[in-house]
Amino acid sequence: MSKITELISGFKPSAQITDLLDKGADIVDRFVQTGAEKEEAKREWAKLESDIQSAYLADTQQARTSEIERIKASKSWITQNLNAVIALGVIALSFILFGVLALVKVEPTQKDIIIYVLGALTTFVGQIVAYYFGSSKSSSDKTDQLNELMKP
């Protein structure tokens, strides 16, 4: 099992990996006969899934820590505030385009382009909000829940 963990520890458990783990569990069910062996196999599979999730969260946290250290080391105002300036610019541009659609008469051909760009910007705004305000807490909660499940 440790070789599998090493192979996939750097990746987020995607649907393919989850499917692979489920198929592995099915194979274990075919070959493991006693109840004690099945319980041990289930614990090891749960630990593997927890290790994958923990590795993904650790990688995310390390990336954020590196970013914070880089920003602290810089003495330039632009370097320290570039992420926030870009985030605020994307959000402001989204509101401006929404205002243009709502308040200004736009040609139909241009309207389609504006709606397309507004859709992309709306996606970026959602990611910005999740990055700055939401994803760490939910990741922490998931890790706590996984650790609770792993307790005997």
pLDDT tens by residue, 52-110: 888 888 887 888 788 778 778 888 888 778 878 888 888 898 888 888 888 888 888 88
Write the CB contacts of 1 (distance below 8 Å, at least 6 apart in sequence).
44, 48
For the chain, the distance separating the N- and C-terminal CA atoms, rounded to the nearest angstrom, is 19
Q: CA torsion, points 25, 31, 32, 34, in degrees to nearest 10? A: 140
What SS3 class is residue 138? helix
Rounded Cα–Cα distance for residues 17 and 32 (Å): 22
Q: What is the pLDDT of residue 106?
A: 83
Q: Provide the whole-model pTM.
A: 0.44
Backbone angles phi, psi at 100, to 5 degrees: -60, -45
Take residue 76 and report the two structure tokens written for it: 């330039």
pLDDT recorded at residue 131: 76
Q: What is the DSSP string of 44-62?
A: HHHHHHHHHHHHHHHHHHH
